[in-house]
Chain A
Amino acid sequence: MMVAIEKSKTIFFSLLFILLFISFILDELVSNILSPLGIRFFIVQTIFFTCSLSVPFALMLLFAFLTGLTWDSIHMAIGVNNDIGFGYSIFLFFITGSLMQGMSPFFSRGRWEAPVMLVGVSTLVFLLIEWFLISFARAQFVFPQNFWSHLWVSVFFGMVVSPFFFYLILKLSKLSGCSVVVIGRSKED
């Protein structure tokens, strides 16, 4: 019985890992489509936040490390001095992932409202800390044009899309046989 549970957990966590990998591909596709419209939707962050709710703390740290490392590798210029050091996103994913971990009891009870709200808050925190770090490194606090509108649009998109990913995670958990929603599932059963 224990072996079966461990196996299902491994499958579920592997699926989440693949989902995170796919999120980077989706991010590229979505940003290519939405960028001309002036909209930036942080799909990697949103998927990471939703995954953070359904995994243990240690695994969340592993996801934060890998996601942050990949994010910086893709988005930071190679071979030139960037405003902030390589790997700063690991720290940002750690902070926001830890924040999301606090909502995991809600999620395991099948409650989505608070986690959806927290996805928005985490996106906001992520972007604001990033802006602060960059401004601090440049020794100049600049509010670009449409700063707030772009920020709120990103937060809004994250919150709107996150229920879909919560649903997807539940489906994956069912598929792998690893129970994420304890109370919700018992009710369903």
Chain B
Amino acid sequence: MKRNNLIALVIFVLAMVWVFTLKSGSVRSIQSKILGIFGLVYESFDELTYSHDVVNGEPISVAEISKKYNKKELGLRYNKLLSDLYELRAWKSQIDLLREENIELKRSLNFVEFKRKQSQKLVAARVINRPSSTWWKTFVIDRGADDGVKLNDPVMTPVAVDRAENVEGALVGKIVNVSASQSTVVLVTDSECKIGAYVHGVFANANEKGLERVQGILSGAPGAGRDVNYLVLQNLPKEADRFGVSAGAKVYSSGVGNADVSGIFPPGLILGYIKEFEVKDFDAVARVQPAINFNQLSYIFVLVSEENNNLSSKGLDQADGGSKRSIAINKEK
């Protein structure tokens, strides 16, 4: 390599290193200067190539707008656009509300269809009275005996589980008082409402009968309210944690009944998620986060199975018992 070329190469490498090590401020300054040189030419080319800067017949470049309108006209246009903007915002909030309602109703519709396929009849009802004194215990719905609602019928609402499109039935409570056109529902948050429940995906030790679900009895926590907003799952086996019961596990109704649990709740309704778990002397108790927000119940469904309809006379005995209990609850209130 010639000596001159070598010197040129060294100078070039040094210059390159200098450029690579430039601070951002210096780079910006160089870029501004170079763009300043080419800027005028580029602008004229942009005008040549993008001469149609118009949207819906209106120019979009500042220069064109200032040519077309004077200051007063621009002020009027600005005010007009501003009022349009506020109107659109008002519409948007209205649309958001309608969209939410639409999603809720669609979910309910899908749920009704799903239950219909399971030969279960759902009676849609609206919550019409919910006194603050019994907010966490009962509410009144606008459906009664005339609509086929009977005592101890389970009440549920659709809820999204894991993801928005996966809708399941969540247990709200049961009917404790029926009149011709209205019924009273006792919520699962009431300690009087006891439900046979199991922890989803968890099994006890295998015996000769095979795997057994980890089951217990779910009820409202004593003193349920704003501060005590959880359910209690009792009578769990002491080794439940060893079997895999942990926070976040889903709790479903088991459909099992005994002396305390009347067995009126169908199996497979989601109740909530395990929040905390405590092992006691003879059993284990879990606190359960309800699957639904009991503060926001406005529409619910009363589940009237075909079997229940056919065996209405058989259910009368239960209904009597249930009504006695409901009277007792009402008296307590």
Contact residues of B between 215 and 261, Cβ < 8 Å to A: none
List the A side residues contacting B28 at CB < 8 Å: 78-79
Q: Which residue of the partner chain, among B9, B12, B30, B45, contacts A73 with CB atoms under 8 Å?
A: B30
With A and B bound together, what is the CA distance between A33 and B45 in angstroms?
Answer: 10
When C-beta atoms are compared, the residue in chain B nearest to A87 turns out to be B19
Contact indicator A57/B20 (Cβ below 8 Å): no
Q: Which residue of the partner chain, among A57, A61, A74, contacts B34 with CB atoms under 8 Å?
A: A74
With A and B bound together, what is the CA distance between A73 and B12 in angstroms?
Answer: 18
List the A side residues contacting B46 at CB < 8 Å: 32
List the A side residues contacting B41 at CB < 8 Å: 25, 28
With A and B bound together, what is the CA distance between A28 and B28 in angstroms?
Answer: 21
List the B side residues contacting A33 at CB < 8 Å: 49
List the A side residues contacting B48 at CB < 8 Å: 29, 32
When C-beta atoms are compared, the residue in chain B nearest to A75 turns out to be B31
| B279 close to A (CB within 8 Å) | no
A47 → chain B, closest Cβ, in Å? 15
Q: Which residue of the partner chain, among B8, B11, B15, B45, contacts A57 with CB atoms under 8 Å?
A: B8
| A90 close to B (CB within 8 Å) | yes
Comparing A64-72, A112-120, A143-151, A177-185, the segment that makes contact with chain B is A64-72
A39 → chain B, closest Cβ, in Å? 15
| A76 close to B (CB within 8 Å) | yes
Q: Which residue of the partner chain, among B5, B30, B42, contacts A69 with CB atoms under 8 Å?
A: B30
Cβ proximity bits A80-120 to B, threshold 8 Å, 1 near / 0 not? 00000111001100100000000000000000000000000
List the A side residues contacting B16 at CB < 8 Å: 65, 87, 90-91, 94
**Known A62-B8, A94-B16; further 7 A-B contacts with Cβ < 8 A:** A25-B42, A32-B49, A69-B34, A78-B32, A86-B20, A90-B15, A90-B19
- What are 13 A-B residue pairs whose CB atoms fall within 8 Å in the complex? A24-B38, A29-B45, A32-B45, A57-B2, A57-B9, A73-B31, A73-B34, A78-B31, A85-B20, A86-B22, A87-B19, A87-B20, A90-B19
Binding site for A on B (CB under 8 A): 2, 4-5, 8-9, 11-12, 15-16, 19-20, 22, 24, 27-28, 30-35, 38, 41-42, 45-46, 48-50
